[in-house]
């Protein structure tokens, strides 16, 4: 059973495992060290053309002279958002043109709605997940998407490498599965409620986000 999805952890701490809680960050101020991290990367090995091309590809507009946006805290750094990986939206998309099921995760109310509202699909339904996220404050290297689905004593875990991202205002879309469609299992023993959780983890094993969710498979 392939699934992915949702509850969001909002925490300024990015070293080690993060427990889900919501800090009061209204008085948060961006440190010079965090802002300088992208600039430092751009300055290193300036005479290595191949490395500069790699950094340009990784950093996008920031490597082409838009660093002022970072220093001005205008777009790529949101001083009101302390998280480095921010999930905006989660969707369940169906192959048969059934309406998408959409959860907005840019507020605590949206996160709570996802936690409290399982989505429902019929057995045999073909579907995939779409997750919309952006990166804030600092470069995130080797971002991975990990999903675990549980029902009774059985569980299935999956992990996908998403890549490295620079802090930008751009929202990235991640589809899972990327090419084919997942298929909900069929049969009496597979009907019922499933509990699941997904995480975003980087190459340093820093857990940026955690998304608990649930879904129901019903008779077709």
Residues 209, 131 share a domain: yes
> What DSSP element (H or E) covers 69?
helix 67-71
Report the domain count for the chain: 2
In a domain, 20, yes or no: no
How many C-beta atoms surround the C-beta of residue 151 within 10 A? 16
pLDDT at 46: 62
Residues 139, 115 share a domain: yes
pLDDT band with cut points at 50, 70 and 90 for residue 109: confident
Using CA atoms, how far residue 76 sits from 113, 148, 163, in Å, is 28, 31, 18
Residues 96, 59 share a domain: no
In a domain, 169, yes or no: yes
52/37: higher pLDDT:
52
CA dist 212 and 118 (Å) reads: 10
Sign of the dihedral defined by the CA atoms of residues 197, 143, 85, 21, in that order: positive
Q: For 11-34, write each residue's pLDDT tens digit.
A: 343 333 333 333 333 333 344 444
Residues 210, 119 share a domain: yes
In a domain, 166, yes or no: yes
User: How are strands ordered across the β-sheet holding 207-218?
Assistant: 119-122, 207-218, 192-201, 140-151, 154-165
CA dist 172 and 165 (Å) reads: 9
HSE-up of residue 31 (Cα within 13 Å, Cβ side): 6
pLDDT at 133: 92
Question: Could you tell me how many residues make up the chain?
Answer: 220
- Say which residues have a Cβ less than 8 Å from residue 88's Cβ, sequence separation at least 6: 104, 105, 106, 132, 133, 134, 171
Cβ(144)–Cβ(41) below 8 Å: no
Considering the entire predicted model, what is its pTM? 0.64
- Say which residues have a Cβ less than 8 Å from residue 49's Cβ, sequence separation at least 6: none
Cβ(103)–Cβ(6) below 8 Å: yes
pLDDT at 45: 61
Which residues form the domain of 62? 32-71
Residues 171, 116 share a domain: yes
How many C-beta atoms surround the C-beta of residue 88 within 10 A? 15
Residues 100, 209 share a domain: yes
């Amino acid at each position: 059973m392939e699934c992915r999805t949702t509850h969001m952890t909002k925490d300024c701490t990015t070293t080690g495992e993060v427990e889900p809680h919501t800090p009061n960050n209204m008085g948060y101020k961006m440190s010079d060290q965090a802002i300088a991290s992208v600039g430092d990367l751009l300055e290193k090995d300036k005479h290595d053309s191949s490395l500069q091309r790699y950094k340009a590809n990784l950093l996008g507009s920031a490597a082409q002279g838009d660093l002022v946006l970072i220093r001005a805290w205008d777009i790529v750094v949101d001083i009101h958002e302390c998280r480095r990986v921010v999930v905006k939206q989660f969707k369940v998309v169906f192959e048969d043109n059934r309406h998408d099921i959409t959860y907005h995760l840019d507020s605590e109310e949206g996160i709570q709605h996802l936690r409290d509202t399982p989505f429902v699909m019929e057995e045999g339904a073909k579907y995939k997940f779409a997750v919309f996220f952006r990166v804030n404050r600092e470069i995130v290297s080797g971002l991975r998407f990990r999903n675990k689905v549980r029902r009774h004593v059985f569980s299935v875990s999956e992990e996908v490498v998403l890549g490295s991202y620079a802090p930008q205002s751009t929202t990235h879309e991640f589809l899972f599965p990327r090419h084919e469609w997942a298929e909900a299992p069929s049969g009496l023993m597979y009907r019922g409620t499933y509990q699941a959780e997904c995480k975003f983890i980087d190459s340093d094993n820093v857990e940026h986000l955690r998304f608990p969710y649930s879904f129901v498979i019903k008779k077709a």
